[in-house]
Chains A and B, each alone.
Chain A
Amino acid sequence: MVKQQRRYLFALVLLSAWAAVVLGYVYRAGAAPTVVLLLFLPLGPMLWFLWRLHRRAMAPKLRQIHWLAGEVEACIRENRRTLPSASAPAEIRPLIQSLNRLLEFENRRFEQERNFTADASHELRTPLAGIRLQADLALRSDDAGQRLNALKNIIKAVDRATRLVDQLLTLARLTDEELDVILHPVDLNRVCERAVAGHYEPAGARAIDLRLEKPEVAVTIDGDAASLLIMLDNLLRNALTYTPEGGRVEVRLGAGKGVAHLSVTDSGPGIRADQRTRVLKRFQKAEGARESGIGIGLAIVHRIIQLHGGDITLADAQWGAGLSVRIDLPLAETAAGDGA
C-alpha cells in the first residue's frame, strides 16, 4: 500500500513540476491555444492521479470505519455487550478497546440502577405485607379492639414504608457518580449538637442514655453540612433502634493529626466481626429484612463519607456489648495547620 502511495506521490510531484514549467512558459510567451492544450494535458491526469492517491489512502480507513459502524449497529441490534477486537484491523483496535471500556462503564451504571430498583421494591414488600395482613385482620375481626389495633399497625407500617422511600431516594441521589458535592468549611461540633438534639426525645421515651462527648474547640472539615447531618441522623437512628430499653448511646467527637474522629456507639447486639464488610456494602442480598434496614442507613453513611474523603470502620463498643461506628474525616486545611 505505502509503496504505491509513494509512486503516486512521485508522479504527482513530476506532473506539478511540468505544470509549473508550462505555466512559466505561458507567462513569458503569451501564446494562447496550444499553450492551453499543453497546460491542461498534464493537469487532467494530475487531477486523476490526485484523486486515485486520495482514494487509495483513504479507502482502507473508510472501510474500517464502515466496518466498525456495522459492528456497533450489530451490538445495538443484538444487545451485545462488547465489540469484537480480535478480528479488527490493527489500526482501529485501540479505538475498539476504548469503545469497549465505555460500553462497560455504561453497562455497570445500568446494572447498578437496575439492582437498586430491584432492591428497593424488595425492601418495600415488607411494610406492604404488614399493611395487607393488618387490613385483612381488620376486615375479618368482630372484635372492635382488635380492629383498632390493626388500624394502628397499618399507620405504623405506612410510616415505616415512607421512611424507607425517603432513605432510598437519598441513597439514589447520593449514588449518582456525577454528583458534585460542594464542600465548604463545616464545624462538626455544631453538626453533632444538632444531630443529637433531634434524638433526645426518642431516646428518652425508651430510657436510653444518649450522650455527646465533644471538645470545646471547633472541629472544622471541608464538607457539606446537610449531608453530614443526614449521616449522623442515620447512625443515631440505627443506634437507637438496636439499643434495648435502658441502654446507652454515645456520640464522641475528637480531632488529632489532621483528622477528625467521630464515633457513634450503642449497647445493642452489635454486628459480628465476619458480617462487618458485608454490612458496609450496599444491599447484600439473601440476608435480612432487618439487616437491609441497617444496610440502607449504613450505605447512605458510607457514601457520604466517601464523598468527604473519609473512612469508616465498625468495631465492638468500648464497653463490651454493642456496635461502635467510627468515622475519620480529614480536617480542613487551615484547621489542620493549627494542629488541634
Chain B
Amino acid sequence: MRILLVEDDKIIGDGIVQGLSLEGYAVDWVEDREAAYTALAANPYELLVLDIGLPDGSGLDILTGLRGCHDDMPVLILTAYDEVSYRVKGLDAGADDYLVKPFDLNELSARIRALHRRHHGHAEPTLTVGNLTLDPAAHQVTRNGVPVELGPREFSILQTLMENSGRVVSKSRLEDSLYGWDVDIESNTVEVHVHGLRKKLGRNVIQTIRHVGYRIAGHG
C-alpha cells in the first residue's frame, strides 16, 4: 500500500517511514503543506497519515481540501493535542482516525490496516479467495490451511489482487502500490513477483489479462 506521510518533525518522520516500511508499506514523506499538495496531485496514495501541526499552516486544511474535492482517501491524523475538542474538530473535518503523540508503532499499523479494510469494504480482518487466506496483521498467507512463505513484495501484490477479487488490476497500479518515489522500479519487477507467486501457489492462481493486468482466480 502506498502511503503519504505529512510530518514536519524529522525524528518522528524517520521513525514512521522506517517502521511502516518494515511492514511492507511504501511510504512517501513530506514535511509541509505545500509539499503535501504537490505530492497528492502527482501520485496515487491509498492512505494519508497527517500531522496537524505543520510549519506553514494546519494539516486540517489539507484534509478539508481533500474532502472538498470528494476524495475519500482514508486519513489518519497525528497530533500532540489530546483534548476532545481537537479530536472532534479533526474527525468532523473528515478524518477517519486520530492518534495522539506519543503513540505505539504497532497501534499505528493496526489502525492503518483497519482503515484500509474499511475502505475496501471488508469487515473481516482476513481476506479469503478460493483456497487462499491472507491475514494482513500477521503477514501470513495460507493455502488450504497450510502456510505459504512469501516475500514482502509478493505479499503486497497478492493482497492487492485479493482485495480486488473479481476485478482486473493493472500492472501500473500494482507498481504504484509497491514503490515510493525514491525507489527505482525495473520494468519487469511485477512480472517477476507474479511468477514467484505462481510458483508458490499454483499456476492458475493469478490470471494474466493481456495488455490490461492481472486478476486473482477463484471466487468462493
Q: Which residues of A contact B (CB under 8 A)?
A: 122-123, 125-134, 136-137, 140-141, 146, 150, 153, 156-157, 160, 269, 285-292
Contacts and interface: CB of A to CB of B under 8 A. Distances in A.
B60 to A, nearest CB: 9
B18 interface: yes
B28 interface: no
Nearest to A142: B22
Interface stretch (B69-77, B101-109, B141-149, B179-187): B101-109
A122 B80 CA distance: 6
B101 A125 contact: yes
A299 B14 CA distance: 29
B80 A126 contact: yes
Contacts of A123: 80
Nearest to B54: A288
A287 B15 contact: no
A130 B9 contact: yes
A136 B105 contact: yes
27 contacts: A122-B81, A123-B80, A126-B12, A129-B12, A129-B102, A130-B9, A130-B15, A131-B11, A131-B102, A132-B15, A132-B102, A132-B103, A132-B104, A133-B11, A133-B15, A133-B105, A134-B11, A140-B22, A141-B18, A153-B15, A160-B11, A286-B81, A287-B54, A287-B57, A289-B9, A289-B51, A290-B55
Given A125-B101, A136-B104, A153-B14, A289 B8 contact: yes
Contacts of B51: 289
Contacts of B164: none
Interface residues of B, number: 27
Interface of B: 8-9, 11-12, 14-16, 18-19, 22, 51-55, 57-58, 80-81, 86, 100-106
B102 A289 contact: no
A129 B51 CA distance: 12
A287 B9 contact: no
A129 B80 CA distance: 9
A137 to B, nearest CB: 5
Contact of B11 (A127, A140, A285, A292): A127
A129 B53 contact: no
Contacts of B106: 136
A5 B214 CA distance: 107
Contacts of A129: 9, 12, 80, 101-103
B15 A134 contact: yes
A130 B51 CA distance: 13
Given A126-B9, A128-B102, A290-B53, A285 B81 contact: yes
Contacts of B57: 287
B15 A156 contact: no
Nearest to B80: A125
Contacts of A128: 101-102
Given A125-B100, A153-B11, A288-B55, 6 more contacts: A126-B101, A127-B11, A129-B12, A133-B19, A287-B53, A289-B80
A286 B58 contact: yes
Contacts of B105: 132-133, 136-137, 140
What 7 A-B pairs come out closest when comparing CB atoms? A133-B15, A130-B11, A129-B101, A129-B102, A288-B53, A125-B80, A290-B55
Q: Which of A133, A134, A153 has the most CB of B within 10 A?
A: A133
Given A127-B11, A136-B105, A291 B55 contact: yes
Given A125-B101, A287-B57, A288-B55, A136 B9 contact: no
B20 to A, nearest CB: 10
